[in-house]
Structure 1
Amino acid sequence: MAKATTSATGQGRTYGGQSSGERRAERQERLIRAAVDTYGEQGYRRTTVADVCRAAGLTPRYFYESFANSEALLIAAYEAVTRIALETVQAAASGLGETEREARLEAMLRGYYTLLREKPAAARVFVTEMSGISAAVDAAFERGLAEFARVLALTLDPDGRKTGANVLRETGAMHGLLAIARTWIAHGCNEPVAEVVAIAKPFCRILVSQDA
């Protein structure tokens, strides 16, 4: 049987080598992972707190220690998926030089659409489940898209400034990529990734325009 001790780090009682703060963070992460899987399988609107807790192997009381309501968990799940998408596109371009703009663009788009195809649950959260829930969810969705678009733009053009015109360009490019993804996913990702990338590239060219 694991022994409980008092932590000297301010993280609460230690049990089984973990402080109470560490255990809480682990439970929160389990809930987020379960939410991504459950929302991806049956949709946010058809998912209850009990469904997520069941998938995470936790009781509802642990849900409410981390999240005020289902919307807060949806936002956390979306933010987690957004981080994965950002890491994916950045890694895809990391081995290419700044002057290889076409190659960087193609690599990033290939990484993005491959991720959506290979992780359908995450794709559903990132692409379809954030629309029309509430003002708070809409705001989180737009923040995530703006962050993704900014990373995409800076990876393609490290000297790009955040001007009003560039923000509009980034918004247009990202919503174009998102619309393509939604339609592609709705049709079962039937088209090859290479073809989707070729279709999406024109939406991003404005980000690397010499006139931008």
Structure 2
Amino acid sequence: MTQPGPQRQYAGRSAAERRADRRSRLVDAGLQMFGTVGYAMAPVGRICKVANLSTRQYYEEFGSREALLITVYDTINTEAIEAVAKAVAALGNATLTARVEAALRTYARSTASDLRSARVAYLEIVGVNPAIEAHRMAWRRRWVTLIGGVLQAAIERGEIADRDYRLAAGAFVGAANGLLQDWCATDDRAPLDDVVAELSRLADALTR
């Protein structure tokens, strides 16, 4: 069997490294464009100009503009859900109130400290087309599952009543997204810590 030859390198980088760099630059450009001028005003050509790449290179990485939007959105949510899970785990045997506050603070800072990320996560992703809406709803279910795990742990500790909290978790995720969507859409924004405090009060009311 013929063995594959070594990858050719240009400027000390392999083809895989160059491709990873192009993809990273396109994702960064997507965040910049979608998070500032908006998805509707960010055609592929403008994205490529920001990334300093050709449209040919774009389509080697992404089959459509929607594919880049999904990738940027997934990046924001993946970083957030990993950070939240880590923050909750680090608290160990802390009270439910402490764990919820840590989760909310981590989530808000991860998704909304950069207004470009907030705009993608709460505004630009909404209503693009049915496929992207289905993708957004799948992420919402993942967040509901994470919250459900936190609440189940609280049940086992005897901190809250033993009941089915799936509807409460879904309502909370919807409320959190709605509040952050409104927060992102207005120029007269309250401090992000105030948003976290309001969501903490809501979470307390839902589990009381």
TM-score interval, normalised by the smaller of the two chains: 0.7 to 0.9
Does the aligned pair in 2 maintain the 1:184–1:191 contact within 8 Å? yes
Distance in 1, matches of 2:13 and 2:153, equals 42
What secondary structure, in the 3-state scheme, does the structure 2 residue paired with 1:128 have? helix
Query: Paired residue for 1:36?
Result: 31
- Residue 27 (str. 1) matches residue 22 (str. 2): yes
Distance in 2, matches of 1:14 and 1:177, equals 48
Distance in 1, matches of 2:35 and 2:8, equals 36
- Segments of structure 1 that go 5 or more residues without pairing to the other structure are 1-5
The correspondence of residues 153-164 of structure 1 with structure 2, limited to 5 A, is: 153-155=148-150, 157-158=152-153
Distance in 1, matches of 2:124 and 2:49, equals 20
Query: Paired residue for 1:195?
Result: 194
* Aligned residue among 45, 52, 56 for 2:51: 56
Query: Paired residue for 1:3?
Result: none
Does the aligned pair in 1 maintain the 2:91–2:99 contact within 8 Å? yes
Listed one character per residue, the Cα deviations across residues 136-186 of structure 1 (whole Å, up to 9, x for unaligned) are 1111111122223322332454488xxxx6544332221110001011222
Does the aligned pair in 1 maintain the 2:126–2:133 contact within 8 Å? yes
Query: Paired residue for 1:185?
Result: 184
Distance in 2, matches of 1:200 and 1:82, equals 18
Give the C-alpha shift of residue 68 in structure 1.
0.8
Distance in 2, matches of 1:206 and 1:142, equals 24
- Residue 138 (str. 1) matches residue 133 (str. 2): yes
What secondary structure, in the 3-state scheme, does the structure 1 residue paired with 2:124 have? coil
Give the C-alpha shift of residue 26 in structure 1.
2.0
- Residue 204 (str. 1) matches residue 203 (str. 2): yes
Does the aligned pair in 2 maintain the 1:177–1:203 contact within 8 Å? no
Distance in 1, matches of 2:53 and 2:104, equals 37
**187 and 155 in structure 1: CA distance in 2 versus 1, 3 angstrom threshold:** same
Provide the alpha-carbon RMSD of the alignment.
2.6
- Residue 96 (str. 1) matches residue 91 (str. 2): yes
Q: Which amino acid aligns with 1:102?
A: T
Give the C-alpha shift of residue 46 in structure 1.
0.7
The alignment-based identity, stated in percent, is 30
- Segments of structure 2 that go 5 or more residues without pairing to the other structure are 156-163
Q: Which amino acid aligns with 1:109?
A: L
What secondary structure, in the 3-state scheme, does the structure 2 residue paired with 1:32 have? helix
Listed one character per residue, the Cα deviations across residues 40-70 of structure 1 (whole Å, up to 9, x for unaligned) are 0100011110111111111111110011110
Does the aligned pair in 2 maintain the 1:105–1:156 contact within 8 Å? no
What secondary structure, in the 3-state scheme, does the structure 2 residue paired with 1:42 have? coil
Bigger shift: 12-21 or 43-52? 12-21
Runs of 4+ displaced beyond 6 Å: none
Query: Paired residue for 2:161?
Result: none
Query: Paired residue for 1:106?
Result: 101
What is the TM-score normalised by the length of structure 2? 0.82
Distance in 2, matches of 1:167 and 1:57, equals 46
What secondary structure, in the 3-state scheme, does the structure 1 residue paired with 2:90 have? coil
